[in-house]
Protein backbone atom coordinates (compact mmCIF):
# COMPACT_ATOMS: atom_id res chain seq x y z
CA UNK A 1 0.00 0.00 0.00
CA UNK A 2 2.85 2.44 0.73
CA UNK A 3 4.36 4.34 3.60
CA UNK A 4 2.55 7.38 4.99
CA UNK A 5 3.00 9.84 7.84
CA UNK A 6 -0.19 11.41 9.18
CA UNK A 7 -1.20 13.78 11.93
CA UNK A 8 -4.22 12.59 13.89
CA UNK A 9 -6.37 15.49 15.06
CA UNK A 10 -9.40 14.99 17.28
CA UNK A 11 -12.09 17.56 17.98
CA UNK A 12 -13.01 18.47 20.60
CA UNK A 13 -9.49 18.32 21.96
CA UNK A 14 -10.49 16.99 25.40
CA UNK A 15 -10.79 13.63 23.60
CA UNK A 16 -7.02 13.60 22.94
CA UNK A 17 -6.44 11.68 26.20
CA UNK A 18 -8.63 8.91 24.79
CA UNK A 19 -6.31 8.61 21.79
CA UNK A 20 -3.34 8.20 24.13
CA UNK A 21 -5.16 5.60 26.26
CA UNK A 22 -6.14 3.63 23.13
CA UNK A 23 -2.52 3.80 21.93
CA UNK A 24 -1.33 2.42 25.28
CA UNK A 25 -3.80 -0.50 25.22
CA UNK A 26 -2.84 -1.42 21.66
CA UNK A 27 0.87 -1.15 22.54
CA UNK A 28 0.46 -3.37 25.61
CA UNK A 29 -1.26 -6.04 23.51
CA UNK A 30 1.57 -5.99 20.96
CA UNK A 31 -0.70 -4.66 18.22
CA UNK A 32 2.03 -2.48 16.69
CA UNK A 33 4.31 -5.48 16.26
CA UNK A 34 1.97 -6.75 13.53
CA UNK A 35 0.00 -3.68 12.35
CA UNK A 36 1.11 -1.28 9.66
CA UNK A 37 0.70 2.14 11.38
CA UNK A 38 2.06 3.18 14.75
CA UNK A 39 1.72 6.40 16.74
CA UNK A 40 5.28 7.64 17.10
CA UNK A 41 5.02 11.19 18.45
CA UNK A 42 2.74 13.66 20.14
CA UNK A 43 3.00 17.19 18.80
CA UNK A 44 1.64 20.24 20.65
CA UNK A 45 1.46 23.31 18.42
CA UNK A 46 2.80 26.58 19.78
CA UNK A 47 1.57 28.53 16.74
CA UNK A 48 -1.20 27.83 14.22
CA UNK A 49 -0.08 25.74 11.27
CA UNK A 50 -2.50 25.83 8.37
CA UNK A 51 -5.98 25.10 9.70
CA UNK A 52 -4.62 23.67 12.96
CA UNK A 53 -4.82 26.13 15.88
CA UNK A 54 -2.13 26.94 18.43
CA UNK A 55 -2.40 24.58 21.39
CA UNK A 56 -3.67 21.69 19.26
CA UNK A 57 -2.41 18.25 20.27
CA UNK A 58 -1.72 15.86 17.42
CA UNK A 59 -0.63 12.26 17.24
CA UNK A 60 2.02 11.61 14.56
CA UNK A 61 1.36 8.21 12.98
CA UNK A 62 3.79 6.43 10.65
CA UNK A 63 3.40 3.30 8.57
CA UNK A 64 1.34 1.61 5.89
CA UNK A 65 -1.21 4.12 4.56
CA UNK A 66 -3.90 1.42 4.54
CA UNK A 67 -3.83 1.46 8.36
CA UNK A 68 -4.31 5.23 8.69
CA UNK A 69 -7.82 4.84 10.04
CA UNK A 70 -9.18 4.80 13.59
CA UNK A 71 -9.45 0.99 13.64
CA UNK A 72 -6.09 0.48 11.90
CA UNK A 73 -4.17 2.84 14.14
CA UNK A 74 -5.71 1.95 17.49
CA UNK A 75 -6.48 -1.74 16.93
CA UNK A 76 -10.14 -1.28 17.82
CA UNK A 77 -9.34 0.26 21.22
CA UNK A 78 -10.53 3.81 20.57
CA UNK A 79 -14.00 4.71 21.68
CA UNK A 80 -14.80 8.41 21.53
CA UNK A 81 -17.47 10.63 20.13
CA UNK A 82 -15.01 13.18 18.85
CA UNK A 83 -14.28 13.79 15.20
CA UNK A 84 -10.97 12.09 14.34
CA UNK A 85 -9.13 13.26 11.23
CA UNK A 86 -6.02 11.79 9.61
CA UNK A 87 -4.13 14.59 7.87
CA UNK A 88 -1.17 13.59 5.67
CA UNK A 89 1.90 15.26 7.19
CA UNK A 90 3.10 16.59 3.85
CA UNK A 91 -0.14 18.53 3.38
CA UNK A 92 0.43 20.55 6.56
CA UNK A 93 4.16 20.55 7.23
CA UNK A 94 5.71 20.58 3.74
CA UNK A 95 7.93 17.62 4.70
CA UNK A 96 10.79 16.78 4.37
CA UNK A 97 12.21 20.32 4.03
CA UNK A 98 9.87 22.00 6.46
CA UNK A 99 10.77 25.00 8.61
CA UNK A 100 8.21 23.63 11.07
CA UNK A 101 10.49 20.67 11.80
CA UNK A 102 13.76 22.55 12.40
CA UNK A 103 15.21 21.27 15.68
CA UNK A 104 12.56 18.55 16.07
CA UNK A 105 13.94 15.02 16.47
CA UNK A 106 11.13 12.66 15.52
CA UNK A 107 13.15 9.55 16.44
CA UNK A 108 14.27 10.51 19.95
CA UNK A 109 12.61 9.37 23.17
CA UNK A 110 13.46 12.84 24.56
CA UNK A 111 11.22 15.85 23.94
CA UNK A 112 12.30 18.47 21.42
CA UNK A 113 10.84 21.81 20.44
CA UNK A 114 11.14 24.84 18.24
CA UNK A 115 9.14 28.04 17.79
CA UNK A 116 6.25 26.16 16.15
CA UNK A 117 5.79 23.01 18.22
CA UNK A 118 6.83 20.80 21.08
CA UNK A 119 7.30 17.09 20.31
CA UNK A 120 7.24 14.09 22.67
CA UNK A 121 7.58 10.42 21.88
CA UNK A 122 4.15 8.79 22.16
CA UNK A 123 5.40 6.53 24.96
CA UNK A 124 6.90 9.49 26.86
CA UNK A 125 3.71 11.51 26.53
CA UNK A 126 1.60 8.57 27.74
CA UNK A 127 3.86 8.29 30.79
CA UNK A 128 3.61 12.05 31.42
CA UNK A 129 -0.18 11.82 31.17
CA UNK A 130 -0.32 8.97 33.73
CA UNK A 131 2.01 10.90 36.05
CA UNK A 132 -0.11 14.04 35.79
CA UNK A 133 2.64 16.01 34.03
CA UNK A 134 0.71 16.57 30.78
CA UNK A 135 -2.53 18.44 30.37
For 82-103, what is each residue's pLDDT tens digit? Answer: 999 999 998 888 766 788 999 9
Q: How many CA atoms lie within 13 A of 62 on its CB side?
A: 7
Q: What is the pLDDT of residue 95?
A: 66
For 2-37, what is each residue's pLDDT tens digit? Answer: 788 999 999 999 999 999 999 999 999 999 888 667
> Of 35-44, 94-103, 110-119, which one has max mean pLDDT?
110-119
Amino acid sequence: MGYQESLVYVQPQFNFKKLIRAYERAEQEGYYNVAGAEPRSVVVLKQPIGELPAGAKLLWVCGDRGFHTVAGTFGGHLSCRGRVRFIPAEEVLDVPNSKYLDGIDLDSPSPSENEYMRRFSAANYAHRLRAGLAR
